Amino acid sequence: MEILLFGIINSVTLSLTALGFTLVYGISRLPNFAHGALYVTSGYIVWLCVNSLGLNYLLAIVLGIVATAIIGALMYRLIILRIRGMQISEIIATYAIGLAIIEGLRWGGLRGSTFTLPSFLAGSIELGGIAVDNQRLFVLGSGVGVFAALGLFVKYTKTGLALKAIAQDERAAMMLGIDSDRKALVSFALGSGLSAFAAILILPLGSIVVETGYNVLIYSIAVSIIGGLGSWGGAIVASFIIGFAQILTEVFLSTQYQMVISLLAIIVTLLLKPSGIFGKQKELDDRV
Amino acid sequence: MSDGRDRKERIDRGIKVRSDGLYAVSSLREMLYLSGPRILLIAGLLLLPLLLDPFPYWRRVINILCVYALLAIAFDFLANCIGLVCLGGSMFIGLGGYFAAVFNVHLHLPIYLSIPAAALAGAVVSTLLILPCLSLRGVYFAIVTLMYPLLFTRVIEAFDLLGGSNGITGLDSFPGSYLENYSILLVLLAVLFGLRRVLNDDIGLVMHAVKDNDQSVRASGIDVVRIKALAVFIASFIGCLGGAYLAHVYMWAGLSLFALDFSIIPIAAVTIGGGGILFGAVVGCLILVPLSEFLRFFGTFRIVLYCSVLTAFIVFKSEGLMPYCTRKYQQFERWADA
C-alpha cells in the first residue's frame, strides 16, 4: 500500500519533470540538454523573488514560470534558431548552455541546503494508515491537472493543433502555412515553462541544489527514451515504470541503485525496442 | 566598385596551385610551403618542454594539455567523422585512470605495461557499454555518453568501490619529468598523424559515409554498427590512454577523473579550433588549456566561460579557427564585379 501510494506520487513527479523535455523533442526534434538547468533556474528565480525582493509567494511563482519560459524562448531565438538542423551543433549548444547555467549558479553561490522554498500546503493527512504530506498530494493533483490541460490544449486550440501537426509531419505542416520556426519557439517556451512549473511544485519538498539539474536531466531523458522519444503517452507510462522501479529499489535495496536502475532501463529499452514503448511513428527514422 | 553588387572572390595562391601537383618537389619554396605548418606544429610541440624548462609548473601543464588534446581528437573524430556526439569524455579518462590504478597498484604491473593495458581494457569496456545505442541514429549516443560518467561517480561513491571517494593512491610515477613530457607528446603526435592517415584511408571514407548517409553504406553491404563500434573503440582507446597516463602522473586515481572539465574542454577546443580536421582540436587545446590555467582562480566559473565561448563560436564562427587560417594560407581574396 505504501509502495503503491509513494510509487504513484513518485511517478507523477517524474512525468512532470520529463514533460518539458519530451514536449520540446516531440514537437521540434530538438534535444534540450538545458532542461535540468532551466528547472533549477526557475526554482532559484522564485527563491530570489521571495527572499530578496520580498514578493508575494504566488506572484513569485507566476514570475518564475514566465521568466523561465522567456529564457527558453530567448535561447531558441538567439542561439538554436541559427543552428537548426545541424544536429551536432544543436546537441553541443544546448548542452553548453545548460552547463553554463548550472555551473554559473554554483559559482554564484547556490550551494548547500540553505535554499528552500516554502510548501504551499503545510501538514499531512493519513491515507489508509500512511502519513502523506499535503504538498505531495498537491503535486499529484496538479500533475494530473497539467496533463489534462495539455491534452485539451493540443486537441482544441489552434496553436495546439499546429504544434501537433509539426510534430507529426513538419513538411506537410509548413505546406499548410504553419510557421515551423515560430511554433518551435512556442514549444521551447512551453517546455521551459513546464519545467519551471514542475520545479516549483517539487522543489518545496527538498532544497534547491544545483546537482538536481543533472538528475532532472537524466531522469527526464530516461523517461523519454523508454517511452519513446517525443511520445507523450509513452513518457507517462515510462515514468510510471521508472517511478515504481525507483520506489521498489528504495524499499528493497537502497537509494543508491536508483540511477543504476534508470540507466539499465535505458539500455534494455535500446536493446529490445529502440524506439521506446510507444515510439512507433518514427521507428524507421531512428534505426540504422 | 561600390555599387553594392560586388562580391568577394577567393582565388588559390599560385604557390598552392603549384604545390598541389607534381611541381611540389620542384623547389625548396614549394616543399617548405607544404611542410611548413606541419614542421611548425611538430617542432613547436617537441621544443615546448625545453623552452619551459625554467618553469616546472608550466611543464606539468604540458602534460595535461596533451591529455586534453588527445580527448579533443577523440571527440572530433567521433563527432565530425562518424557523426556521434560524445558528451562524456570524462568517462574515458575515468575508466583509463581506474584501470591503470588497478593494474599498477593491485596487479603490480610496471608503468610501461599498465598504461597500454589500461587503455586497451578501458577501450573494450567503454565500447561494450556504448554498444547498445550504436544501432540508433540521432541523440541516443549523446544521451548515453552523458549519463555514464555521472553514473560511475555515483556508483563508486555509493558503494565505496575502488577506494570510494578517496580513490586509489600509490601509483608509480614516471622516472623523470622529461620522460613524462615527451612520452605523452610523442603519443599525441603519433595519434594525430596516425588517425589522419586512417581517415584518408578506405576505412576513413566509409566512416565519413556513415556520418553523411548510413543507408547507402548499408546498401553497399557494409555493417554500419561494426564501423561505428570500431570508431568508438579507437576513440575510447585514445581517451583511456590519456586517462591512464594522467593517473600515473598524479600517482592517484579518484573521482575527479570523472570531472566535468574532461567532458567540456575537449568539446570547446574542437569548436574553437575547428571540427573535422583533428589539428583544430590540438590548436583549440593550445589556446584553451593555458587560458584555463590563468583562470584557475575563478573555479567553476571557468566552465561558464568555456560554454559561453563555445556557444558563441557555434553561432557566429561555426567553422572554427583552423579552417579559417587554412583558407588564409591557401587563398587570397579580392573584390570582383558581380
Does residue B193 lie within any of the structural domains?
Answer: yes
CB contact under 8 A, B314 and A225: no
What per-residue confidence (pLDDT) applies to B213? 84
B127 pLDDT band, cuts 50/70/90, is very high
What per-residue confidence (pLDDT) applies to A124? 64
Residues of B in contact with A221 (CB under 8 A): 143, 146-147
Chain A with chain B: Cβ pairs closer than 8 A: 134
Clarify whether residues B165 and B275 are in a common domain. Answer: yes
The C-alpha angle with vertex B270 and arms to B266 and B271, in degrees rounded to 5, equals 115
* Residue that is written with C-alpha cell 556520418 in the block: B211
Output the CA–CA distances (angstroms, integers) from residue B58 to A123, B67, B256, B288, in the order listed.
59, 14, 21, 14
Does residue B79 lie within any of the structural domains?
Answer: yes
Clarify whether residues B182 and B245 are in a common domain. Answer: yes
User: Is residue A95 within 8 angstroms of chain B, CB to CB?
Assistant: yes
A284 pLDDT band, cuts 50/70/90, is very low
What's the DSSP call for residue A53? S
CB contact under 8 A, A286 and B138: yes
Residue A116: phi and psi, rounded to 5, are -130, 150
CB contact under 8 A, A79 and B315: yes
Does residue A285 lie within any of the structural domains?
Answer: no
What per-residue confidence (pLDDT) applies to A120? 65
Average pLDDT over residues B63-92: 89
Count CA atoms closer than 13 A to A202's CA, side-chain side: 25
What per-residue confidence (pLDDT) applies to A138? 79
Instruction: Judge whether residue B200 has pLDDT over 60.
Output: yes
Instruction: Judge whether residue A1 has pLDDT over 90.
Output: no
The C-alpha angle with vertex B255 and arms to B251 and B256, in degrees rounded to 5, equals 75
Asked if A190 contacts A21 with a C-beta cutoff of 8 angstroms, the reply is: no
Clarify whether residues B35 and B136 are in a common domain. Answer: no
Closest to A18 (Cα-Cα) out of A278, A199, A182:
A199
Mean pLDDT (chain B) is 85
Does residue B222 lie within any of the structural domains?
Answer: yes
A26, amino acid identity: G
CB contact under 8 A, A270 and B214: no
CA of A56 to nearest chain B CA: how many angstroms apart? 32
Does residue A271 lie within any of the structural domains?
Answer: no
* Nearest CB to B308; choose among A100, A266, A285: A100
Clarify whether residues B24 and B127 are in a common domain. Answer: no
Residue A233 CA to residue A15 CA, distance in Å, equals 10
CA–chain centroid gap for B101, Å, is 23
Closest to A37 (Cα-Cα) out of A89, A97, A87, A85:
A97
Residues of B in contact with A35 (CB under 8 A): none
What per-residue confidence (pLDDT) applies to A121? 63
Element (H or E) spanning A3, and its range?
Answer: helix A2-28
Torsion of Cα atoms, B29 then B34 then B39 then B44, to 10°: 100
CB contact under 8 A, A288 and B311: no
* Nearest CB to A266; choose among B144, B301, B314: B144
A114 pLDDT band, cuts 50/70/90, is low
Which residue in A92, A263, A283 has the most chain B C-beta atoms within 10 A of its own C-beta, making it the best mutation to test that interface? A92
3-state class (DSSP) for residue A94: helix
Does residue A34 lie within any of the structural domains?
Answer: yes
Instruction: Judge whether residue A157 has pLDDT over 60.
Output: yes
Residue B67 CB neighbours (<10 A): 28
Output the CA–CA distances (angstroms, integers) from residue A190 to A160, A196, A282, B167, B336, in the order listed.
11, 10, 23, 43, 48
What per-residue confidence (pLDDT) applies to B194? 92
B188 pLDDT band, cuts 50/70/90, is very high
* Residue that is written with C-alpha cell 567523422 in the block: B81
Give just the sign of the alpha carbon dihedral A163, A164, A170, A175. negative
What's the DSSP call for residue B11? E
3-state class (DSSP) for residue A277: coil
CA of B46 to nearest chain A CA: how many angstroms apart? 32
Residue A34 CB neighbours (<10 A): 29
Number of domains in chain B: 2
What per-residue confidence (pLDDT) applies to A265? 80
What per-residue confidence (pLDDT) applies to B1? 47
CB contact under 8 A, A92 and B264: no
Tens of pLDDT, residue by residue over B18-41, are: 777 777 777 888 888 888 888 888
Which range marks the domain in which residue B192 is found? 52-332
Paired strand residues for B336: B7
Grid cell at residue B71:
580527448
Instruction: Judge whether residue A83 has pLDDT over 60.
Output: yes
CA of A210 to nearest chain B CA: how many angstroms apart? 12
CB contact under 8 A, B307 and A270: no
Clarify whether residues B20 and B135 are in a common domain. Answer: no
Residue A37 CA to residue B242 CA, distance in Å, equals 30
Which pTM value belongs to this model? 0.86
Tens of pLDDT, residue by residue over B258-281, are: 888 888 888 888 888 888 888 888
CB contact under 8 A, A100 and B307: yes
Paired strand residues for A127: A130
B100, amino acid identity: A
Residue B253 CA to residue B275 CA, distance in Å, equals 31
What per-residue confidence (pLDDT) applies to B172? 79
Give the CATH number, domain containing residue B226. 1.10.3470
Grid cell at residue A262:
534508470
Torsion of Cα atoms, B212 then B215 then B221 then B227, to 10°: 50
Tens of pLDDT, residue by residue over B225-244, are: 899 999 999 999 999 999 99
What per-residue confidence (pLDDT) applies to B148? 86
Clarify whether residues B237 and B213 are in a common domain. Answer: yes
Does residue A217 lie within any of the structural domains?
Answer: no
Asked if B236 contacts B123 with a C-beta cutoff of 8 angstroms, the reply is: yes
For residue B140, give the chain A residue with the closest CA: A225
Between B149 and B164, where is the model more confident? B149
What per-residue confidence (pLDDT) applies to A257? 73
What per-residue confidence (pLDDT) applies to B125? 93
Does residue B68 lie within any of the structural domains?
Answer: yes
What per-residue confidence (pLDDT) applies to B120? 93
Clarify whether residues B135 and B19 are in a common domain. Answer: no
A112 pLDDT band, cuts 50/70/90, is low
Q: What percent of chain B has pLDDT over 90?
A: 17
Does residue A243 lie within any of the structural domains?
Answer: no
Average pLDDT over residues A253-273: 75
Which residue in B139, B210, B263 has the most chain A C-beta atoms within 10 A of its own C-beta, making it the best mutation to test that interface? B139
Instruction: Judge whether residue A45 has pLDDT over 80.
Output: yes
Which residue in B156, B315, B318 has the most chain A C-beta atoms within 10 A of its own C-beta, making it the best mutation to test that interface? B315
Instruction: Judge whether residue A222 has pLDDT over 90.
Output: no
Clarify whether residues B137 and B28 are in a common domain. Answer: no
CB contact under 8 A, B314 and A286: no
B56 pLDDT band, cuts 50/70/90, is confident
Average pLDDT over residues A173-196: 86
- Any idea which of A276-285, B97-106, B164-173, B177-186 has the lowest mean pLDDT? A276-285
Instruction: Judge whether residue B298 has pLDDT over 80.
Output: no
**R_g of chain B computed on alpha carbons:** 22
User: Is residue A266 within 8 angstroms of chain B, CB to CB?
Assistant: yes
What per-residue confidence (pLDDT) applies to B229? 92
Does residue A96 lie within any of the structural domains?
Answer: yes
Clarify whether residues B33 and B175 are in a common domain. Answer: no
Which residue in B140, B141, B301, B311 has the most chain A C-beta atoms within 10 A of its own C-beta, making it the best mutation to test that interface? B311
* Residue that is written with C-alpha cell 561494450 in the block: B128
* Nearest CB to B150; choose among A214, A229, A271: A214
Tens of pLDDT, residue by residue over A229-256, are: 767 777 888 888 888 888 888 777 776 7
Instruction: Judge whether residue B318 has pLDDT over 70.
Output: yes
CB contact under 8 A, B135 and A274: yes
